[in-house]
Amino acid sequence: MGIFGDIMSKIFGQSAKAETPAARTAAPSASTAPQASPAPSGTMTRTGPAPEGPKVEWSAPVDVKAVLRELAKSKKQKLNYDKSIVDLLKLLDLDSSLTARQELAKELGYSGSTKGSSKMNVWLHKEVMRQLAANGGKVPKTWMA
């Protein structure tokens, strides 16, 4: 599973734990593009952008802000996860190193310099939020702008 798949699993998995058993994580999918389509039962199916990305089903859009806010309550350190990709990764207990962010940038199609610039980090945060929204997450518009 790629880094973006890990991000989705952490966020969508936290939502599934708080919801009914209808929100569950399924086996990885072989799809290469993010897709959101209604399933016959009325649930949504989301497939991650990476070939090995996870497939998750849920009955309602996942409130990303609420999930992250709940996770932040358990952290001693105040994290600026709504603007910082490094803090977002730390909040999710994922590797926030430059190497990990370079890999995430490659996964998401970043075309600029990956030498650790603030431009790459800002783009990464916005793109992660856009991808979460495209895959069924309810994300504040200000986090994507």
pLDDT in tens, 54-99: 455 555 789 999 999 999 999 999 999 999 999 999 999 999 999 9
pLDDT reported for residue 44: 41
Q: What is the mean pLDDT of residues 120-142?
A: 96
Give pLDDT, residue 140. Answer: 96
- Please answer whether residues 59 and 20 qualify as being in contact, where contact means their C-beta atoms are separated by less than 8 angstroms: yes
Q: What angle do CA 71, 83, 136 make, to 5 degrees?
A: 65
| Structure confidence at residue 46 (pLDDT) | 45
Residue 96 burial (C-beta neighbours within 10 Å; 0-12, 13-18, 19+): middle
Residue 9 has pLDDT above 80, yes or no: yes
Percent of the chain with pLDDT over 70: 67
Q: Is pLDDT at 23 greater than 70 in this prediction?
A: no
CA of residue 75 relative to chain centroid, distance: 19
Task: Specify the pLDDT at position 137.
Answer: 95
Phi and psi at residue 60, in whole multiples of 5°?
-150, 160
Residue 39's contacts (CB-CB under 8 Å, 6 or more residues apart) are: 45, 57
What is the value of pTM for the model shown?
Answer: 0.71
At residue 33, does pLDDT exceed 60? no
Q: What is the CA radius of gyration of the chain?
A: 15
Give residue 90's identity as a one-letter amino acid code: K
- Closest among 88, 95, 91, 92 to 121, alpha carbons compared: 88
